[in-house]
Amino acid sequence: MLMIPGPTPVPEKVLLAMAKHPIGHRSGEFSKIIAELTENLKWLHQTQNDVLMLTASGTGAMEAAIINFLSPGDRVLVGNNGKFGERWAKLAKAFGVAVEEITSQWGQPLSVEDFRSKLQSDTEKTIKAVIITHSETSTGVLNDLEAINKAVKEHGKALIIVDAVTSLGACNVPVDLWGLDVVASGSQKGYMIPPGLGFVSVSSKAWQAYKNAKIPRFYLDLGKYKKATDENSSPFTPPINLMYGLQAALQMQKEEGLEAIFTRHQKATTATREAMKALCLPLFASDDAASPAITAVAPTSVEAEKVRSLMKKRFDIVLAGGQDHLSGKIFRMGHLGFVCPRDILAAIAALEATLIELGDTTVSPGAGVAAAARVLIQ
């Protein structure tokens, strides 16, 4: 049982949809599938912008989001408060972009004020883009994209480029309402399908920037993907079977509805967090900056790595560990994608048993399950 922030569990319907012979990607039959996927991806992104599919992991989508809209030497602000914010900075620097990092301690959200003051002081309008991670998976922090984006809109010139890999399909990311220019995501997170597809949505303002962007590109040249997608086609051979899976997954999501999906994630998040509190396990991110995809816990009465290995051994439940300096300090429980209340209750009950076996005397048996149940039955 995967309780990590990706790959996430895949529904049987999706697995079965993928268990078919591939068809030709230049066939009329496949064109129909691309048309349906494109329409449903726009629904999921709440946008009329282009939503393009790449054969890549989430990082490939992030790379496409940089190289198609920027030039070497361009000044950008990058939010860095965790592993994935750091990845944005490294990625942009690798292509010669002039990165100014706005950092917060890991576990803390990015400061909206830091972005606002930098943007306000840019009277010459030299900042080309603001680049942030919405849900910082490494720490379980949800950055305030809406507020940071407001500051970008007041600036007027800069693009907003967002990693929404663990927020899209988990909480509200209204691309058109907020005017998000470039949004990157990946299939093995909120999409409920295996790894291998990356997604990028592109606004008309971003397409304007595309025309002048000078970073070399070929496979990830989004112009090629737009042209093909407009003809219900794909520039290169796409992962056809993954797309069968995506077709089934998007149909399931549409049946459930966006509001219901967001509520389910909200409840899973609150239930998990309330359970951790009841078990006296310190949460790494505060309630008002809680990721809808993952909860990070920094235990003091037991060792994080012992919790993870015993959960795996006794219950076959996989939790994620900490990255870099947080390695061994935190464990992270994913609740993203195809996750229901039963999964949360099972994971919390197993966690209680694990803590008891590890000799954690602060645990009152049943307290975590009771706290989670109170949230889930509301």
Query: Would you tell me which residues interact with ligand PLP (CB under 6 A)?
Result: 5-6, 57-59, 84, 133, 137, 163, 165-166, 186, 189
Q: Which residue type is seen at 25?
A: H
Residue 213 contacts residue 70 (beta carbons within 8 Å): yes
Q: Is the dihedral of CA 174, 178, 179, 183 positive or negative?
A: negative
Closest separation in Å from C-beta 102 to ligand PLP? 17
CA atoms within 13 A of residue 44's CA, in its CB half-sphere = 35
To the nearest whole angstrom, how small is the minimum distance from the Cβ of residue 164 to ligand PLP?
A: 8
Q: Least CB distance from residue 84 to ligand PLP, whole Å?
A: 4
Give least dist CB 61 to ligand PLP, A.
Answer: 8
- Closer residue to ligand PLP, CB minimum distance, 82 or 368: 82
Q: What's the per-residue H, E or C state across 132-180?
A: EECEECCCCEECCHHHHHHHHHHHCCCEEEEECCCCECCECCCHHHHCC
Residue 129 falls in which region: left (phi positive, over 0), alpha (psi -120 to 50) or beta:
beta
Spatial CB neighbours of 108, under 8 Å, sequence gap ≥ 6: 81, 141, 289
Which residue, judged by CB position, is nearest to ligand PLP in the bound state? 58
What minimum distance in Å lies between the beta carbon of 4 and ligand PLP? 10
Minimal distance in Å, beta carbon 141 to ligand PLP?
10
Q: How many Å apart are CA 264 and CA 332, to the nearest integer? A: 19
Tokens of 37: 């996927």
Q: Closest Cα to residue 143, out of 130, 155, 153?
A: 130
Look up residue 137 and give its two tokens. 């998976």
| Cβ nearer to ligand PLP, comparing 198 with 299 | 198
Q: Of the two residues 58 and 337, which places its CB atom closer to ligand PLP in the complex?
A: 58
